[in-house]
Amino acid sequence: MTAAATATPAAAAPLAPAPRADARPLPPFPTPAALALERATRRELELVMVRGATPDADGLVGWELRGINHPAWARLAGIKKFVKGFFRGEDGRVMGYNAPVVQNVLDGRWRTRPSDAAPKRFGFYEVAPVDPTRRDNAYLHAVLLDYGRGGNPRWDPTRGLRDYLVQVDPENPDLFLGKAYYALGPLRVHSSYFILERFRRGVTELAR
**pTM of the full predicted structure?**
0.88
**Terminal-residue alpha carbon distance, the chain:** 8
Res 208 pLDDT > 80: no
Indicate if the pLDDT at residue 174 is higher than 70. Answer: yes
- CA distances in angstroms from 196 to 26, 66, 118, 162, 174, listed in the order given: 13, 6, 21, 16, 8
Domain locations in the chain as residue ranges: 53-201
- What's the confidence (pLDDT) of residue 21? 55
In this prediction, residues 122-135 reach a mean pLDDT of 98
Alpha helices in the chain (DSSP H): 32-39, 42-51, 73-76
Q: Return the pLDDT at 178.
A: 98
Say how many residues make up the chain: 208
pLDDT in tens, 10-53: 333 333 444 555 567 898 999 999 999 999 999 999 999 999 99
- 3-class SS of residue 184: strand
Whether the per-residue pLDDT at 190 is higher than 90: the answer is yes
Question: Which tops the pLDDT comparison, 69 or 13?
Answer: 69
Q: Are strands 81-88 and 94-100 parallel, antiparallel or unpaired?
A: antiparallel
Instruction: Give the separation between CA 173 and CA 20, rounded to whole angstroms.
Output: 7
Name the nearest CA neighbour of 195 among 182, 180, 206: 180
Between 2.60.60, 1.10.3470, 1.25.40, 2.40.128, what CATH number should domain 53-201 receive?
2.40.128
Mean pLDDT of the chain: 90
